[in-house]
Amino acid sequence: MLAIKRQAMASATQILLRPHFLATLTTAASARAYHSKLCKSSDEAIKGIKSGDKLLIGGFGLCGIPENLLKAIARRKDIQQLTAVSNNAGTADYGLGTLLQSRQIKRMMSSYVGENKEFARQYLGGELEVELIPQGTIAERIRCGGAGIPGFYTLTGVGTQVETGGIPIKYVKGSSNIEIASEPRESKIFNGRKYIMEEGITGDYALVKAWKGDELGNLVFKYAANNFNGPMATAGKITIAEVEEIVPVGELKPDEIHIQGIHVHRILKGEKYEKRIEKLTLRRSDSEEQQLSPAMKQRIHIIKRAAREFKNGMYVNLGIGMPVLASNYIDPGITVHLQSENGILGMGPFPTADEVDADLVNAGKESVTVLPGGTCFSSDVSFGMIRGNRLDMTILGGMQVSQRGDLSNWVVPGKIIKGMGGAMDLVAAPNTRVVVTMTHNAKDGSPKILKENTLPLTGTKCVDRIITDKCVFDVIPGKGLLLRELSYGNTVEEIKAATGCAFEIASDVAETY
């Protein structure tokens, strides 16, 4: 019996080793049948989307948005009362903003309103429901939704209106009265710290945009265009992906695919791409800096001092606005790894004109570069780094800071609504040093450094250092503010007059910048 088995195995081996048999197997594998998910047009791809659906819409600002799918929905005026989950809403005239213009959206779930004036107008005017969610929280809620996780606990938002509730979702039309407000969050203590619970997010449809894809639905993103596209692709009951290039099945290497085809139900090659850059920002020469407005010169004065906070080997996040300018003033003798919450580690300075790439923007939607050794990834991965205490320092802008280090920087109720963006996540990381850069006083001369904040909080007792156009304060836990440095031309008495709270003075305080 054993001899018969050995003879059978030997015969089978001889057959398998014959060249024509191996060729037949290879040909069969390459020509195997598969179910194509390819759609001929964006109009075909969005079939089934109806009024009242919840849409998860990828992109960050205008970077990586599914612009062809959004145009297709805008053409369908019968689709109304949508809930749109998106980090923000593009601009007033492009991207998701066009669906706001056509009044097809009932509710936005976003982290940032930004400079979209139509978004802000509809919200403050009571025409639009807006559920504002910290950026890292919305990214993780979507990731959890896609992974079948109903909820999670986070430090982000503890001690703010995110925890206590009351953030306006909808104003009474034509009034500053609140018609719908956010609900309080459940909380729980872990290892002596309070955390709040957030629920996972899924959608009826996810609309995402990738660089390359195949007919099986495998997707590859380019640079920072991964952002929210990655997690959203996993969290839709039906995911529709538009890509710049459809490649043959098998051309994408298994280890370079970002989103596997199991998550994608329909795919199409986008008909036309504009790939607008929301804020085209180029590197300035020294001579150009001298021609800037006094207000911009003041900002650069502050941020050049902030750049001294960098130490060799640091991992640092720069907030939008003034802080991001610090990337242009890093001491060339040290290495600083800049992280941008939209999915970049190793961010470089603003580009020259020939370095501009629409798929490379920072958290402020400005064009940037990536240094050698830099990497790009999705928004949920980015905030995992932040919540996981991987950053040494974050530099943020501020509207108000209290003597205890409480920060307000995201809203003036009923007047200015920017949204919290990623700031609440950044200041909640226990081991990350928080430096706030801002003008010492508001335009009306009122102090921004106060005994108590009057604006809604971004975080409590979270600020370590304040750098203004007049001086540098340290926040000493349990004690208050300590005046460390003066800007040239300022005196201690002038700082006392310009500051809305008492403070101690360091024995070695001097003019240093």
What does 433-496 look like in DSSP terms, one character per residue?
EEEEE--SB-TTS-BSEESS--SPPSBSS---EEE-SSEEEEEETTTEEEEEEE-TT--HHHHH
The alpha-carbon radius of gyration of the chain (Å, integer) is: 26
pLDDT for 14 equals: 52
Per annotation, catalytic residue among 67, 341, 366, 485:
341
pLDDT for 498 equals: 98
The model's pLDDT over 430-480, given as tens digits with 9 standing for 90+, comes to 999 999 999 999 999 999 999 999 999 999 999 999 999 999 999 999 999
Q: Averaging pLDDT over each range in 124-138, 277-291, 409-423, which range is the top one?
A: 124-138
Confidence at 113, pLDDT banded by 50, 70, 90: confident
> Picking from 7-11, 50-54, 169-173, 432-436, which range would have the lowest pLDDT averaged per residue?
7-11
The model's pLDDT over 257-306, given as tens digits with 9 standing for 90+, comes to 999 999 999 999 999 999 999 999 998 776 666 778 999 999 999 999 99
Q: How far apart are CA 114 and CA 87, in angstroms?
A: 10
Q: Which of 201, 202, 225, 203 is nearest to 213 (CA)?
A: 225
Q: What is Dmax (Cα atoms) for the chain?
A: 104
Say yes or no to pLDDT of 2 above 60. Answer: no
Say yes or no to pLDDT of 21 above 70. Answer: no
Contact (CB, 8 A) for 393 and 435: yes
Say yes or no to pLDDT of 28 above 70. Answer: no
How distant is the alpha carbon of residue 292 from its chain centre?
29
Active site residue 341: yes
> Picking from 15-29, 252-266, 422-436, 470-484, which range would have the lowest pLDDT averaged per residue?
15-29
Say yes or no to pLDDT of 428 above 90. Answer: yes
pLDDT for 35 equals: 85
Q: How far apart are CA 360 and CA 122, in angstroms?
A: 30
Segment 397-414 mean pLDDT: 96
pLDDT for 488 equals: 97
Residue with tokens 């945009």: 209
pLDDT for 91 equals: 92
Confidence at 7, pLDDT banded by 50, 70, 90: low
Which DSSP symbol is given to 169?
E
> In three state form, how does the secondary structure of 36-104 look?
CCECCCHHHHCCCCCCCCEEEECCECCECCCHHHHHHHHHCCCCCCEEEECCCCCECCECCHHHHHCCC
Confidence at 22, pLDDT banded by 50, 70, 90: very low
**pTM metric for this prediction:** 0.91
Here the tokens at position 336 are 């600083």
